[in-house]
Amino acid sequence: MAPQKSLSARAWVELILLSAIWGGSFLSIRVALDEIGPLTSVAHRTGWAMLILWAVILTRRLPLPKDLKTWAAFAVMGCLNNVIPFTLMAWGQLYIETGLTSILNAATAIFGVIIAAIIFADERLTATRAIGVTLGFLGVATAIGLENLLNFDIRSMAQLAVIGGTISYAFAGAWARAKLSHLPPQMAAAGMLTASSLIMIPVAWVFEGPISFDLQTDTWIAIAYYAIAATALAYLLYYRVLATAGSGNLLLCTLLIAPVAIILGAIVRDEVLPTQAFVGFGLLALGLIILDGRLLAKLRAH
């Protein structure tokens, strides 16, 4: 039986950093959407990040993949990890509450662990992993507000769209491990974002008009953050954690994104941090401790 994939101390640090970067992207995307449409926002995000990563690749003179199989894998990854979830979630958020959207997005961790367990022998769904992920999800739901779950309606197309986006993210993690893990992170990220941009730029142009570059300073600052930090840099971390910890562990970052967004909202926008948030953070921390397993192993040893 293959050894179970786990998160090393370094992988935990990179996962937390990735979550912090993506948690901060909510604020920057919200600022950009005040001036540009959601499809144009995605086109800016993937397009600029693509150019940055190709500049890194050319500077470092990394070898380019020449086989059609790899480029086809880039196309599938671009659809699974960018085009499908970005579009579904952007549309869904027009019609449902932010709190419910955040809870549904955290479900990516659950889908990711399940799909990884089905596909990979070294990412088995053990009782410990199941308990840890469930506690983590309940922690996110508690922090945001359990009352948001009362608004869930399986008949709502908007809610189903967001769930579809989370499932797409989960399959993307498994696809990346199966098809792209042999590539340097820079190449895997650049190839994926190239495929995404080739799709999103014309789609945004058709549905929202020509891509505008005459934007307000605040909008450009927002785009710079979510293109450079939350996309180009974040996907380098994404592929690093994927290579060492597996796709299921990688997607645990979605449990950490919501608390980061809540805390940043309290700091930057003076949003009230309710008591339930601290209870939720505690449940989330307990879930992550169980998933990590090292502290429990030490306690059992004593």
pLDDT category at 12 given cuts 50, 70, 90 is confident
Which H helix or E strand runs over 168? Answer: helix 157-179
pLDDT category at 301 given cuts 50, 70, 90 is low
Q: According to the 3-state scheme, what is the secondary structure of 36-61?
A: CCHHHHHHHHHHHHHHHHHHHHHHHC
Beta carbons of 239 and 189 less than 8 angstroms apart:
yes
Percent of the chain whose predicted confidence (pLDDT) is above 70: 90
pTM of the model as a whole: 0.83
Q: What are the structural domain ranges in the chain?
A: 9-301
Beta carbons of 99 and 145 less than 8 angstroms apart:
yes
Treating both helix axes as pointing N-terminal to C-terminal, what angle do 127-144 and 253-268 enclose, rounded to 10 degrees?
A: 20
Read off the pLDDT of residues 219-274 as tens digits, 9 standing for 90 and up: 999 999 999 999 999 999 999 999 888 888 888 888 888 777 777 767 766 666 67
Q: What is the mean pLDDT of residues 125-142?
A: 82
Q: What is the mean pLDDT of residues 180-184?
A: 91
Distance in angstroms (rounded) separating the CA atoms of residues 116 and 174: 6
For residue 292, what are its two tokens? 């990590």
In 3-state terms, what secondary structure has residue 96? coil
Statement: residue 296 has pLDDT above 60: no
Distance in angstroms (rounded) separating the CA atoms of residues 280 and 56: 40
